[in-house]
Amino acid sequence: MSNRTKIMFLCTGNSCRSQIAHGIAKKLGGDRLEVYSAGLEAHGLNPRAVRVMKEIGIDISGYTSDVIDLGLLKEMDYAITLCGDAEERCPLTPPSVTKMHWPFPDPAKATGTEEEIMEQFRAVRDAIGRCLEEFIAGFEHRTQSIFP
């Protein structure tokens, strides 16, 4: 049995925000975290999300867009929703799962030139990264048992 902290990131389609969070959390948490992502629906991995992650040296091209697995969700230590739709429609979890909500705009809905759209993806990626840095630093500061 793993003693790693289990986190699942949830958004509407598991195509952008949750995939970005998944990739960053895996990099920042290393072998201390067991990271998953899922959506209320599976919209497929967004190629722009893959590109903005590659810009920071994280390859998510092999990730798949998955629908929430209720059995797996109940095994998590944390379930983090990244959009209002996921927060409202997230399945019930047992009290042992800490639910958190980090609302981010959907970069897939950005409009404008390709560069303007990519800037929206970068802004969301960077904001998610900052949240994860604080989240993981908070663990390390408060609880040595979470990260031995």
Quote the tokens at residue 135: 């989240």
Q: Which of 90, 124, 128, 132 is an active site residue?
A: 90
Given the residues 83, 108, 124, 132, select the one marked as catalytic: 83
Active-site option among 11, 40, 76, 136: 11
Active site residue 83: yes
The CA distance from 66 to 21, in Å, is 14
The verdict on whether 16 is a catalytic residue reads no
Q: What is the C-alpha to C-alpha distance for residues 119 and 140, in angstroms, rounded to an integer?
A: 31
Question: 7 φ, ψ to 5°?
Answer: -130, 135
Active site residue 11: yes
d(CA 26, CA 11) in angstroms, rounded, equals 17
The secondary structure of residue 97, as a DSSP letter, is S
Q: Which residues are catalytic?
A: 11, 83, 90
